[in-house]
């Protein structure tokens, strides 16, 4: 991107505003994460996702090799954050609210203790990661991409070029949604996996819409909202997948049979939700 280019009138300027915003979120939450401030995990993880999606959708705006290396490190950091965030979500899902004297209440207390134990381990893993040389390099890289990213020639194109990328992301999403519908109709056991793939594509489309909103004109906000609703519906199903995996293999050895039965009922109900693709598909609008 040439020095004389007006950032407000280039594709690079449009994309970089979004990239800089996400880099800022990561930097703002870095020290709070080091202090184990729970509320910092989710925004940092979402910012990582937005950055990775943007580098994938608008990668030609930046130097290809630099963007590829940055995306790889962001993926690593996203996995570290995910180790904590997934357990936070599980903690919310299985938060005790039943009488602890009942079988279901005993199961909830057991799960809460298991989640707390694993969450503490995940926080320790994050702390170890944050003191590594790899994390230091990533922090420095986020700072560079926030201030002076490695632009390529495409950065000097007109911002309206973003519309093409948004349309391409939309077309890919629609294609994957059709695959999910076909899989569900045919009873394909891979339908849940196809839904997860469509969910990731829906995120990329939503983030592209957010980035390109200034040049998309009327209707952009409504389309963003539709994609947010789709993400929420698909996200609930994915949360059930994670929850079902967590419940598999858990046991309440030493407890009365009725407690084990209650755990089995909860596991089966969660498994059913994890394999339900028709419910989330009903939320698709536009």
Across 157-164, average pLDDT: 96
Across 163-179, average pLDDT: 96
CA 205/CA 197 separation, integer angstroms: 13
| Beta carbons of 205 and 231 less than 8 angstroms apart | no
Q: In this predicted model, what pLDDT tens digit does every residue of 75-104 receive, in sequence order?
A: 999 999 999 999 999 999 999 999 999 999
DSSP assignments along 242-275, one per residue: HHHHHHTT---TTS-HHHHHHHHHHHHHHHHHHH
Give pLDDT, residue 172. 96
Residue 249 has pLDDT above 90, yes or no: no
Across 42-47, average pLDDT: 98
| Beta carbons of 80 and 40 less than 8 angstroms apart | no
| C-alpha radius of gyration, the chain, whole number | 22
Residue 273 has pLDDT above 50, yes or no: yes
Q: For the chain, what's the residue count?
A: 286
Across 202-219, average pLDDT: 94
SS3 29: helix
CA 275/CA 286 separation, integer angstroms: 24
Across 229-245, average pLDDT: 94
Mean per-residue pLDDT of the chain: 94
Give pLDDT, residue 6. 42
Burial of 188 (0-12, 13-18, 19+ CB in 10 A): middle
Burial of 19 (0-12, 13-18, 19+ CB in 10 A): buried
For the chain, the domains span 1-157, 160-286
Sign of CA dihedral 265, 237, 246, 124: negative
Across 32-59, average pLDDT: 97
Question: Residue 283's pLDDT band (boundaries 50, 70, 90)?
Answer: confident
Angle at 60 between CA 56 and CA 61, to 5 degrees: 105
Q: Distance from CA of residue 129 to its chain's centroid?
A: 20
CATH of 1-157, picked from 1.40.20.10, 1.10.620.20, 1.25.40.10, 3.40.30.10, is 1.40.20.10
Give pLDDT, residue 3. 37
Closest by Cα among 169, 162, 160 to 227:
169
């Amino acid at each position: 991107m040439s020095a004389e280019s007006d950032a407000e009138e280039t594709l690079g300027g449009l994309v970089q505003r979004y990239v800089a915003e996400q880099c800022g979120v990561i930097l703002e939450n870095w020290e709070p994460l080091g202090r184990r401030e729970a509320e910092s995990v989710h925004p940092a993880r979402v910012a990582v996702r937005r950055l990775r999606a943007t580098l994938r959708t608008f990668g030609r705006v930046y130097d290809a090799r630099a963007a590829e290396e940055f995306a790889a490190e962001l993926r690593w950091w996203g996995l570290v954050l995910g180790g904590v965030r997934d357990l936070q979500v599980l903690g919310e899902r299985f938060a005790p609210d039943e009488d602890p004297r009942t079988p279901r209440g005993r199961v909830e207390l057991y799960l809460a203790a298991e989640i707390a134990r694993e969450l503490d381990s995940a926080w320790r893993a994050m702390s170890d990661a944050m003191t590594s040389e790899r994390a230091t390099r990533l922090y420095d890289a986020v700072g560079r991409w926030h201030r002076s990213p490695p632009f390529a020639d495409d950065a000097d194109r007109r911002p309206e070029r973003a519309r093409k990328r948004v349309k391409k992301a939309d077309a890919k999403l629609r294609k994957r949604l059709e695959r999910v519908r076909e899989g569900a109709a045919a009873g394909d056991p891979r339908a849940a996996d196809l839904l997860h793939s469509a969910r990731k594509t829906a995120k990329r489309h939503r983030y592209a819409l957010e980035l390109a909103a200034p040049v998309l004109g009327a209707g952009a906000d409504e389309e963003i909202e539709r994609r947010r609703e789709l993400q929420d519906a698909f996200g609930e199903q994915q949360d059930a997948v994670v929850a079902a995996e967590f419940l598999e293999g858990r046991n309440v050895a030493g407890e009365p049979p009725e407690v084990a039965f209650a755990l089995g009922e909860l596991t089966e109900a969660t498994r059913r939700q994890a394999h339900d693709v028709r419910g989330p598909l009903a939320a698709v609008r536009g």
